[in-house]
Amino acid sequence: MLLNDFIKYKMHIKKNENTRSAYYLDLSQWLKFQFNKLDVTAQELEDVQMSDIINYTDELSGRAESTKARKTSSIKAFYNYLISQKHVKESPLEHLPQPKLPERDPIFLTADECRELVDSIDTVSRSNKIRNRAIIVLLINTGVRVSELVGLKLKDIKLKEKKISVIGKRDKQRTIPITNSCIKVLEEYLESKDIQYNDYVFTNTHKKPMTRHGVWEMVKIHCKAIGRPEVSPHKLRHTYATALVNSRAPLKQIQRNLGHTDIRTTDMYTHTYESTMHDVVENSPLSDIY
């Protein structure tokens, strides 16, 4: 089946289960809409016209623009694969304009909200308080992705050198400096556990490595407790980046810490600095001179 061949190809390239699930979901929905089946021939795919794709995107009305853009991108990637394998000659999406996504300011926590979030662990967490504190402090102070955090092993933590190493997207390794607060919570957590050199650092109550979903749920519970239910672990990554921008850290260094391939992705955080600077200028003792 061509769909399965494509998924296997993508897994070989990216080796990411989330990537597999996202592509399969997007493409299976489109194939069922277009053909009412998943197992389609190359000729059937060759016969698809741009108008068919437009009909499908119209069917998605009511969905977020980002969702429509992602689903269209998945179909485009599928056709690029089919062309590379000589199953079809051209893509019906070749001249289809990409939907313009509205620019959205990243959601983040203030420094006071971050302190409140960490303090909530003592009252909200029923168990694993030391672990939960270490996780939240690390997320806030390193900006790591949840997938990178759950993949941390003891050998990746260098407390004396004040750094951790993580494996990011496309299996790229990067080193991130850690703060004294990170060192403190990690020392406390590691002293409470019997962890070997090659063991995963963060485990659940069954002594199995924590899952992305497990971390997500734990963080969401604590964010809800401080009145910010919309904040997820990824928003703590935004929080870290925003704090660095407002501290005047070089954008290139922020890019390296976050593991962004394109600095334009990092540039999205500069709006917060511009907003902060506007308040600073307005409150300047010179601002009322005219």
Enzyme catalytic residues: 145, 169, 234, 237, 260, 269
Nearest 5°: CA angle at 147, between 173 and 197? 65
Q: How many CB atoms lie within 10 A of CB 30?
A: 23
Interatomic CA distance for residues 45 and 131, integer angstroms: 50
Interatomic CA distance for residues 28 and 7, integer angstroms: 11
Interatomic CA distance for residues 183 and 159, integer angstroms: 6
Give rounded-to-5 percent helix, strand, coil for the chain: 60, 5, 35
Contact 216, 232 (CB under 8 A): yes
Q: Which two tokens stand for residue 79?
A: 């056709």
Give Cα separations from 248 to 3, 88, 119, 177, 260 (angstroms).
47, 50, 27, 17, 18
Strand pairing partners for 165? 175
Strand pairing partners for 175? 165
